Amino acid sequence: MNFDYNEEQQLLAASVKRFIDKDYTFEARRKIVGSSEGYSNAIWSTFAEIGLLGLPFSPDVGGYGGGAVDLMSVMEAIGEALIVEPYLSTVGLGAQFVARAGTHARQQAILPLVCGGKLKMAFAHTENGARYKLAHVSTRAKTTSAGYTISGEKRIVVHAPSADQLIVSARTSGGDTDPEGISVFAVDARAAGVSMAVYRTIDELRAADVTLNDVHVPADALLGEEAHGLALIEEVIDYATALLCAEAVGAIKYANDATLEYLKTRKQFGVAIGSFQALQHRMVDMVISGEQAKSMAGLACAKVDVATDPVERKRIVSAAKIKIADACRHVAQEAIQLHGGMGMSDELKISHTFRRLTMIAQQFGDADHHLERFAKTS
C-alpha cells in the first residue's frame, strides 16, 4: 500500500506548480477568460513543453505512457488554478478515443500532434433530451461509397470552439436510445457541414452547440467497431470522469484553503471568526469532505486504465462521482457561506471555484445518475 506520489510524479507536480505560480495567477486567468478566444495558446504550448499533453500516451507517439494516477496531480493543479484550457477535452476525452480505438495510422497521424500541442480536441456527444444517458444518440451516420455522411445536433460540446478535431458519436443503426448501433468518428472541426453556436459557460469555459449537416468523413474516420461504440464511449467517459474527480479534489482544496484563511483573518466582534465553534465544526466537515473526495478520486483513477473489468470500473467510477458530487456541493456552498458577502463577489476567486465545483458536480452525470448506475452494477 502506498498513497504517496512517486518521485517522477512529485517532480511533475512541482513543475506544474511552478508554471501556475508564474503564468496562471488568478489575474492572468481573468485576462485569458476575458480574451476573445477564451483560452491561451501560449499556455497550451507551455503544457506541451513541460510534457503534460503527452502524459498518458505511449512513447511511440511522443508520450510518456502514464496511467490515470500519473495525471492526478496535473488534474488537481488544473482544479486548484481553475485552468480553462482544453486539457480534459483533449487529453482525457478526444485523444483517448484515438489512443484506444484508432488504427495505427490514425494514432500516428493524431497523437504526436496532440503531444506536441498542435492539435486540440473535443467530444461531441450530448444531445437534446439525453440528460446523462450515454446511449441517447440520434445523430445519424450513413454509409457512402467513400465513407460516411454524418448529420445531427450536439449540445454543450465543451471546448468545441478551440478544437481542431471533434470526436462525434453517431448512430449507424438502431433507434435513438438503443445501446447497439452507435459508432464513433473523428471529424475535422472545420469540415464542410460543421457549424457551431458558441457560448460561454457558467464556469467560464467556451462551449458550442454543434450542428453536423451532411458531413462527409472517410471510412477510416471510424474509431473502433461500427455499431459497437457504446462500450468505448463508456470506457472513455469513465476515464475522463476519474480525471474530473481529481480536478474536483484540486478545486475543493482551493476552496478549503481559502475558507480556512478567511476564518483566520476575518475579524468580527473583536476576534477572528474562526474562533467561533459553530464555524470551526463546519470548516472541519468541509475538510472531511475534501479528504473523502480525494480518496475516491484516487480509487477511481487507479481503476480506469488497467484492464479493469467494465462492471467493476463502472461501479468504482460511479461511487467516486457520487462522493465527488456531494463534496463539490457541500464544500462550494459552505465556502461561500463562510466567506459571507465576499464569497458572492466576482472579484474573489472563491466565487469562480464555486461555479466550477457546481458544474463538476453535474458533469458526466450528477449524483442521482451515478447512484442509479452504482445500484444497477452492484
- Min dist CB 205 to another protein, Å, is 8
Contacts with another protein, residue ranges (CB under 8 A): 38, 126, 129-133, 155-156, 158, 161, 177, 197-203, 206-207, 267-270, 273, 278-279, 333, 336-337, 340-341, 343-347, 351-352, 354-355, 358-359, 362-363, 366, 368, 371-372
Residue number with CB closer to another protein (38 or 54): 38
DSSP 351: H
Beta carbon nearer to another protein, 106 or 339 = 339
Q: To the nearest whole angstrom, how small is the minimum distance from the Cβ of residue 111 to another protein?
A: 28
* 143 vs 280 by CB, closer to another protein: 280
Q: Which is nearer to another protein, 228 or 282 (CB)?
A: 282
**Distance between CA 98 and CA 108 in Å, rounded?**
10
Judged by beta carbon, residue 302 or residue 359, the one nearer another protein is 359
Residue that is written with C-alpha cell 488537481 in the block: 76
Angstrom distance (rounded) from CA 359 to CA 343: 17
Task: Report the residue number, 298 or 365, with the smaller CB distance to another protein.
Answer: 365
Beta-carbon count within 10 A of 104 CB: 9
What is the β-pairing status of strands 147-158 and 140-143? antiparallel
C-beta closer to another protein: residue 278 or 307: 278
Give least dist CB 198 to another protein, A.
Answer: 4
Question: In whole angstroms, how close is the CB of 197 to another protein at the nearest point?
Answer: 4
Which of 210, 218, 214, 220 lies closest to 189, judged by CA?
A: 210
Q: Which is nearer to another protein, 98 or 158 (CB)?
A: 158
Crossing angle between the packed helical segments 349-362 and 229-265, to the nearest 10 degrees: 150
Asked if 24 contacts 250 with a C-beta cutoff of 8 angstroms, the reply is no
Least separation in angstroms between CB 125 and another protein:
10
Closer residue to another protein in complex, CB, 23/326: 326
> For residue 81, what are the CA distances in angstroms to 31, 69, 252, 322?
14, 19, 11, 23
DSSP label of 186: E
Q: How far is the CB of 82 from another protein (least distance, A)?
A: 13
Nearest-10 Cα torsion for 189, 47, 80, 207: -10
**Shortest distance (Å) from residue 177 CB to another protein:** 6
Q: How far is the CB of 16 from another protein (least distance, A)?
A: 26
Task: Give me the least distance between CB of 211 and another protein, in Å please.
Answer: 10
Among residues 123, 150, 129, the alpha carbon closest in space to that of 211 is found at: 150
d(C-alpha 144, C-alpha 149), whole Å: 7
- Here the cell at position 131 is 440528460
| Cβ atoms 70, 2 nearer than 8 A | no
CA dist 48 → 44, 63, 115, 158, 293 (Å): 6, 10, 6, 21, 29
267-268 and 206-218 as β-strands: parallel, antiparallel, unpaired? unpaired
Return the H-helix or E-strand segment holding 369.
helix 367-376
- Whose cell is 461511487? That residue is 319
